[in-house]
Amino acid sequence: MPIEIELPQLSSWIGPAFLAWLSAALGLITLCGLIGFLWCLLLYGRRAPRRFWELLRSGVIDLVLVSPRRIGALAWLTIKEAFGRKVTVVVLLFCVSLLFAGWFLDPTSSEPHRLYLNFVLGTTNYLVILLVIFLAAFRLPGDIQNKTIFTVLTKPVRTSEIVTGQILGLVAVGSFILGTMWIISYPFVVRGLHHTHAVNPADLRPLGEPVTLPDGSQGQALQGWTDPTWGHRHRFFVDANGNPRVDMERGHTHSVRVEKSADGKVTYRLGGPEGQLVARVPIYGSLVFRDRNGFDVEKGISVGDEWTYRSYIEGASQAAAIWTFKDLKPDEFPGDTIPIEMNLGVFRTHKGDIERGILGSLSVRNPENGLMVELQVFESKEFSILALDIPKKITRFSSVRVEPRKIKHADGTIEYVRLKPVDPQVLSQKEFDLFRDFTSSDGKIEIWIRCLESGQYFGMAKPDLYIRAGNRSFFLNLFKGYLGIWLQMVLAIGFGVTLSTFLGTPVTLVSTLGVTIAGMAHQFMRQIVTGELYPGVETPARFGPIESFIRLFTQEGVMVEIPRTVGLMVARAIDSVFLAWLDLLSYIIPPMDRLGFIDFVAYGYNVSPSLLAVNIITVAGYLVLLIVAGHFFLRSREVAA
Amino acid sequence: MTSRQQFLRKIVYLVIMAVLLGVLAYLGTPAAPSRDPQRSSPGGVLAQVREKEGLTPTQLGQLDPSGEAIKLATLGMRGVAVHILWMKAEDYKRRKDWTNLSAALEQMVKLEPHFVTVWRHQGWNLSFNVSVEFDDYRERFRWVIRGIKFLQEGIRYNEREPVLYGDVGWTYGWKIGMADESKQFRRLFMDPADPYEIHQGRPPRDNWLVGKDWYREAERLTDQGAILRTTPLIFYSHRPKFQMNYAEAIEKEGTFGETAMDAWKTGWHEFVNEFGHRELPSGYEDFPIIRLYERELLLQQARELAQQIDELEPGLREQLLAERRKELTPEEREAYDTPPYDRTARQADLALSAEIKMRLTHEQVARRIKDPAKRKKALELARKAMELERRAQIVEHNRTIVNYDYWKRHAEVEQQPEAVAAREAMFQSLEAYHNNDHITAMEIFLEAARRWKKVIEKNPDIQYDDAFVSDLSEITDRYMRILDQLDEVFPEDFALQDIIRRRVKRRPEYQIAMEKVAAAQKAIRAGDLGQARSNLEEAFSRFHELTELVKSLKLLSDRQTINDMMNAIDLYDAVMVKLGDVFPRNFVLADIIRIQCLHTPELVAIKRHAAMANSILTAGVNPANLAKARAEFEQALPQAAALLKKFPHLARLSDRRTATELAELDINYNRLLSTIGESLPADYPLREFHEKVVPILEKEYSEPAQPETQPSSATSGSSSKT
């Protein structure tokens, strides 16, 4: 799965994130306070400081001394009203979309599970977000317009409780709908992907020569194909002992049951697909490259691909990709091996032997003393996961050596990474222990990938190689996928309710929709601001709307330099204001696109607790500020009234 | 505003609305077909136009309820949705997200099932662009087939679009039959298990023939009146060309005999009798419809008319031509008289200008007839003849676009038993080579060359066909590998020498080299040795470029060209003798001299005797061994002298490797004599070489090798630009 942005780790993220949040909150409070004070000055003249202080004091008290009981009551009221407005129709709409999904979902696709999961999670996302935006936009302004808000305000209820109650009530409604969708979508996906194949034993052809089995009988290995279902078929093998096996195809395989009739006729019954709906637990390392001269570099070679996600290493040279993993413990990996999985890109500068993939090697190295062994040679497999095992007890290996690492500085000086000395006897060992010999005292281990064929290249990015620490439940991972949507929904509700405290229904609706769309395209917004419209591809300049329009009109691409006329200078000056505004907006609008986990679920990767916690805390941070802001806005409105 | 005014305004609005609705109904009422003709309605104007032009959904292809549902769901924003999907598809392709790319395409075509460009572009995209992103050729093949199936899906919705059928045929043919992986692709295509579900339960067939069937279907549609949205001339040429590609493919894979001959015969028949006789738009207003086969016929008719004009005043045409010929310069005349294939580049230019001057129209001849009555008749005949020639010219132009003459002649020659036999021998030779049986490979290859010679003797015109000459010459270059493995050169009677010679003579490198040699001869006669040297070095550089282009020359495939080079070397040697200099250290034609030396009996004998002498001395230095070694050396020395006589420029170090071998022989012999206390005999055959050349070589070897720009910096500069 391509991950184009760095995934945050909770431990390293929380400190700086909290400081950033605190400074943003203080800045916002100061700004709002200043505006409030000026407003008071306008309204009350000389009495303004005293009045402002009273408002501030009572506001803070209102905020702090909230009653959970009253919040609960208000939330319940919101829930009842929402259900009164027939929100369950959305669930019905979802069910209808599932009924007709078969028209549009192509089970013959190379990865149908991704299509199905993208569809259910995507549909849910759009439906729920739209629903809550409408509910939030209509709720409070409707009450204010109908004057029904006074029936609440005349009660001893604080404004903060109204805002919080509204948000909690809407979150509860959204959660109910999302939960229902989660329950409905699971069987839809499983049933939708279910298929099987038939095998005709008569179509199986002998594979190799007959062999004599231990019981003295003759056995013959067979091979053939299953019948086609959903645009694919599997290679089918039966070994000399009669044990059948189905090859992996389109990311899945099938279990096989052998049935023998009384007359000795063999029938093979294939089960449903296996291996499609998984939740792999990857452990990612950090990646550096080594160039053809053996120097460490941040990036490999560009082979001219427009998508610069992967960079490449040259074959039959000193070039390598080096992943460093931290804190690996033997007891985390039951069994004799550590499974790794990789998904490498391949670039050929000559045809070579196209009957097979490009050969590469896998080595492990101790970063502390440089001890390195080559474990195995593998054949590349592009656009599919290649699973390899690193044995804990290494008995089959080659090229034992001490491999130094060196860096060439800009001034041409070469710096060697200091290594601890290695006992020469170690180099002649016949067996190595992965954790004893190749793990440094601070728990680090390096995995090196090299391309072995001259003129050919391997391409890789950091997430392309990981250690697979088992599997988690797909059902729970799907739940996490829905949790991602839930987090987006909570933010949409927060913005909707807060904006509705001082805006009318239509404006609230449009504003919340705007915030949500901008949040969903947050990365795109940042790319426009930074000038990196395509990840890794730097456009020659940051174009604003006016220059973009000029280029559209004159049909000049982004890479073309256009004449620097006075008009262009003026356009760029105006654009710089637009871009500064967009830059500011990109810090205020929440990165809702990062909150979702649809890709994780669809590609079959477990959503890590750390990432989940980061996203939950992010949403909580926004929500706190939104409640505070909503509370003060509603109070100001009350005061104005 | 009063209430009356308001009322009136409402009335006006209602009237306008009613009128507009009426117009709308007149234009847009849908058709209501019924089995009962009395009850059926043709609908509004638009519905009738759609019906007439064959644009109703049912006429275009099958109806798709899911597509209609999606169209409705977009609430009239179908165009916007398709644009977004197109951009997303491009983005998915860039990010190599093939699953989502497929899904986006599926959605796109559901929204626009009758937009043929979408099907064509994306079908091509999948088969030609996405497929090559995969490293594994099996995956590549899967995506090629996916692109084809996408196009076939497009045909379901656009049953009367010949271009879509053509695209399917094109992809089956070219992508599977001509890709880098065509060997593997064709193997997968004809796998009896049909794992990619291509043949739908039918027995696998050759991809070219399957592609041809799709083109046949497209032609059937156009014959029935379907609109062909591409150039008919090129479109209709594909089917017969596919048949010929099929014939080539099966020969490449080892199928010969009747099968191959029949395949070529069918190809010829389809190309000449079907495609050649098809009525095609010419692209010219004066003769809008032509048939490609008719050029010869038209020219024959024009010739007959010209003959009739000539009969009206015999000898007039010859007289007029003779008058014009007098106006040509001697150079133009010579160029004009030289057969086109033997002309140099300069002669080709001169001949063109001469042809323009010599061009005599029938009208010009007719106007010079003295008798008015005859002249009138001649002018009428001339008009008809020129019309026929004009039509022939248009046919010729269209023929050039599809390379008609080449394919026609190619199919004619290839269907002959001699050509099939020659191809079979070449295939067997290659097989033997791959089985490491190099001697058999060489023997069969030489036999193949003899068979090709027979083909040329039977069809002498093909030796003037650039494509054929180039084809055979390249095959010869490839077979060099076999000779190279065996340390052999092409035999002096190599059957395809003439073909290689023709190719060489057409190359500008050869022509410039020969011009430079001529210039050098002129400079020598004028006594300007520096200029002669410079000219010859330029000539060598061109000869060297020639050997890189026609690689088989390195193994002496064409002795005449090699002789040209050797004559130039002899000339250079003469200049060097006069200048008292030697050949440059990195003389570019040294390899040509070396390969000839290596295949002389003299150098073979020298190597044998020198090796014997060295092995005797290695065994032990004693009087008996010294005597034996001396005997061996003394047998080698006359051979060395003979070699120097054969290649006198070796004394000016034209080939340093051979010269060094001779020097080693000389030094070792001298060393042996000094060991036994003797001096060089008076009749020492290598005395001059010993005294003049060996010291130069010793000096060169004692100096560090220096980079040298040879022949001259100006020359190398110009060659790099070339």
CATH of B65-230, one of 1.20.58, 1.20.120, 2.60.40, 1.25.40: 1.25.40
Measured between CA atoms, the residue of chain A closest to residue B111 is A104
Residue A498 has what pLDDT? 92
Contact B135 A348 (CB under 8 A): yes
Residue A142 has what pLDDT? 76
Q: Is the pLDDT of residue B598 over 60?
A: yes
The domain segmentation of chain B, as residue ranges, is: 3-33+40-53, 65-230, 289-410, 416-503, 507-585, 618-704
CA distance B63 to B81: 20
User: What is the CATH T-level fold of the domain B507-585, as seen in this structure?
Assistant: Methane Monooxygenase Hydroxylase; Chain G, domain 1 (1.20.58)
Strands A286-290 and A386-391: unpaired
Q: Is the pLDDT of residue B6 over 50?
A: yes
CA distance B355 to A266: 84
B102 and B125 in contact (C-beta within 8 Å)?
no
Residue B145 has what pLDDT? 95
* B356 band by pLDDT with thresholds 50, 70 and 90: very high
Q: Which residues of A touch B94 (CB under 8 A)?
A: 306-307, 534
The minimum CA-CA distance between B484 and chain A, rounded to whole Å, is 22
- Average pLDDT, integer, range A132-158: 78
Contact A357 B195 (CB under 8 A): no
Angle of helix A474-500 relative to helix A505-520, nearest 10 degrees?
Answer: 140
The mean-pLDDT minimum among B33-47, B247-261, B310-324, B401-415 falls in B33-47
Q: Write out pLDDT tens, residues A336-354.
A: 999 999 999 999 999 889 9
Q: Write out pLDDT tens, residues B322-345.
A: 999 999 999 999 999 988 877 887
**CA B57, B61, B66, B70 torsion: positive or negative?**
negative
Nearest to A228 by CA among B269, B149, B85: B149
The mean-pLDDT minimum among A536-545, A579-588, A625-634, B679-688 falls in A536-545
Residue A471 has what pLDDT? 87
B568 and B535 in contact (C-beta within 8 Å)?
no
The minimum CA-CA distance between A357 and chain B, rounded to whole Å, is 7
The minimum CA-CA distance between A219 and chain B, rounded to whole Å, is 24
Q: Which residues of B touch A533 (CB under 8 A)?
A: none
Hey, is B494 helix, strand or coil? coil
Residue B67 has what pLDDT? 66
Residue A532 has what pLDDT? 73
Would an 8 Å CB–CB cutoff place B90 in contact with chain A?
no
Q: Is the pLDDT of residue A287 over 90?
A: yes
Residue B59 has what pLDDT? 62
Contact A309 B134 (CB under 8 A): no
Measured between CA atoms, the residue of chain B closest to residue A105 is B103
Interface pTM, i.e. ipTM: 0.83
Would an 8 Å CB–CB cutoff place B181 in contact with chain A?
yes
Residue B682 has what pLDDT? 85
Would an 8 Å CB–CB cutoff place B94 in contact with chain A?
yes
Q: Write out pLDDT tens, residues A6-57.
A: 788 888 899 999 999 999 889 888 888 888 888 888 888 888 888 888 888 8
Share of chain B above pLDDT 90, in %: 63
Nearest to B409 by CA among B338, B462, B369, B347: B462
Residue-wise DSSP of A382-413: TTSPEEEEEESEE-S-EEEEE---EEE-TTS-
The minimum CA-CA distance between A109 and chain B, rounded to whole Å, is 7
Share of chain B above pLDDT 70, in %: 94
- Average pLDDT, integer, range A475-485: 94
Contact A103 B66 (CB under 8 A): yes
Q: Which residues of B touch A106 (CB under 8 A)?
A: 102-103, 106
The mean-pLDDT minimum among A39-43, B120-124, B212-216 falls in A39-43
Contact B96 A231 (CB under 8 A): no
Q: Which residues of B touch A2 (CB under 8 A)?
A: 95, 97
Q: Write out pLDDT tens, residues A220-240.
A: 899 988 988 887 888 899 998
Distance of CA B573 to the CA centre of its chain: 39
The minimum CA-CA distance between A600 and chain B, rounded to whole Å, is 14
Question: What average pLDDT does the structure give for chain A?
Answer: 88
Residue A331 has what pLDDT? 84
Residue B56 has what pLDDT? 67
Block residue for tokens 């190099």: B438
- Which amino acid is located at A231 in the chain? G
Identity of the residue in B99, B181, B193 whose CB atom sits nearest the CB atom of A109: B99
Residue-wise DSSP of B656-681: HHHHHHHHHHHHHHHHHHHHTT----
Q: Write out pLDDT tens, residues A290-304.
A: 999 999 999 999 998
- Which amino acid is located at B317 in the chain? R
Identity of the residue in B69, B103, B197 whose CB atom sits nearest the CB atom of A106: B103
Contact A109 B102 (CB under 8 A): yes
Phi/psi of residue B18, each to 5°? -65, -45
Q: How many CB pairs under 8 A join A and B?
A: 63
Residue A305 has what pLDDT? 86
Q: Is the pLDDT of residue B710 over 60?
A: no
Identity of the residue in A100, A233, A348 whose CB atom sits nearest the CB atom of B195: A233
Q: Is the omega angle on the peptide bond into residue B330 within 30 degrees of 0, that is, cis?
A: no
Q: Which residues of B touch A104 (CB under 8 A)?
A: 66, 70, 106-107, 110
Task: Read off the tokens for A295.
Answer: 């120097």
Contact A111 B135 (CB under 8 A): no
Contact A534 B94 (CB under 8 A): yes
Cβ-based interface (< 8 Å): residues of A facing B: 2, 100, 103-104, 106, 109-111, 114-115, 118, 224-225, 228, 231, 233, 306-307, 309, 346, 348, 351, 354-355, 357-358, 380-383, 534
Residue A612 has what pLDDT? 94
The domain segmentation of chain A, as residue ranges, is: 10-194+472-640, 201-274, 310-460
- Average pLDDT, integer, range B244-255: 94
∠ CA A460-A461-A467, rounded to 5°: 95
What does the DSSP 8-state code read for residue A198? Answer: B
What does the DSSP 8-state code read for residue B293? Answer: G
The mean-pLDDT minimum among A78-82, B143-147, B558-562 falls in A78-82
User: pTM of the predicted model, to two decimals?
Assistant: 0.79
- Average pLDDT, integer, range B554-568: 93
Q: What dihedral angle (degrees, nearest 10) is formed by the CA atoms of B106, B110, B115, B121? A: 0
- Which amino acid is located at A485 in the chain? I
Strands A386-391 and A266-274: unpaired
Residue B329 has what pLDDT? 92
Q: Is the pLDDT of residue A332 over 90?
A: no
Contact A100 B69 (CB under 8 A): yes
Phi/psi of residue A510, each to 5°? -65, -40
Residue B712 has what pLDDT? 38
Question: What average pLDDT does the structure give for chain B?
Answer: 89
Q: Write out pLDDT tens, residues B407-419.
A: 999 999 999 999 9
Interface probe for A, chosen from B87, B99, B180 (most Cβ of A below 10 Å), is: B99
Residue B34 has what pLDDT? 66
Phi/psi of residue A111, each to 5°? -135, 75
Q: Which residues of A touch B96 (CB under 8 A)?
A: 307, 383
- Average pLDDT, integer, range A80-92: 81
Residue B61 has what pLDDT? 60
Residue A639 has what pLDDT? 46
Contact B106 A346 (CB under 8 A): no
Q: Write out pLDDT tens, residues B424-443.
A: 998 999 899 889 888 898 89
Residue A55 has what pLDDT? 81
The mean-pLDDT minimum among A455-464, B148-157, B467-476, B659-668 falls in B467-476
- Average pLDDT, integer, range B33-47: 74
* A61 band by pLDDT with thresholds 50, 70 and 90: confident
Q: Is the pLDDT of residue B159 over 60?
A: yes
Q: Is the pLDDT of residue B471 over 80?
A: no
Contact B69 A534 (CB under 8 A): no
The minimum CA-CA distance between A111 and chain B, rounded to whole Å, is 6
Angle of helix B529-549 relative to helix B508-526, nearest 10 degrees?
Answer: 160
- Average pLDDT, integer, range A175-184: 91
Would an 8 Å CB–CB cutoff place B719 in contact with chain A?
no
Q: Which residues of B touch A3 (CB under 8 A)?
A: none
> How many CB atoms within 10 Å of residue B359?
9
Identity of the residue in B102, B107, B136 whose CB atom sits nearest the CB atom of A382: B136
Q: Is the pLDDT of residue B474 over 80?
A: no
Q: Which residues of A touch B99 (CB under 8 A)?
A: 109-111, 114-115
Identity of the residue in A103, A110, A351 whose CB atom sits nearest the CB atom of B99: A110
Residue B63 has what pLDDT? 62
Q: Is the pLDDT of residue B713 over 50?
A: no
Measured between CA atoms, the residue of chain B closest to residue A114 is B99
Q: Which residues of B touch A233 (CB under 8 A)?
A: 195, 197
Interface probe for B, chosen from A111, A234, A349 (most Cβ of B below 10 Å), is: A111
The mean-pLDDT minimum among A472-486, A554-568, B289-303, B682-696 falls in A554-568
CA distance A629 to B150: 54
Identity of the residue in A106, A118, A351 whose CB atom sits nearest the CB atom of B102: A106
Q: Is the pLDDT of residue B26 over 90?
A: no
Q: Write out pLDDT tens, residues A521-538.
A: 998 888 888 877 655 555
Q: Which residues of A touch B70 (CB under 8 A)?
A: 104
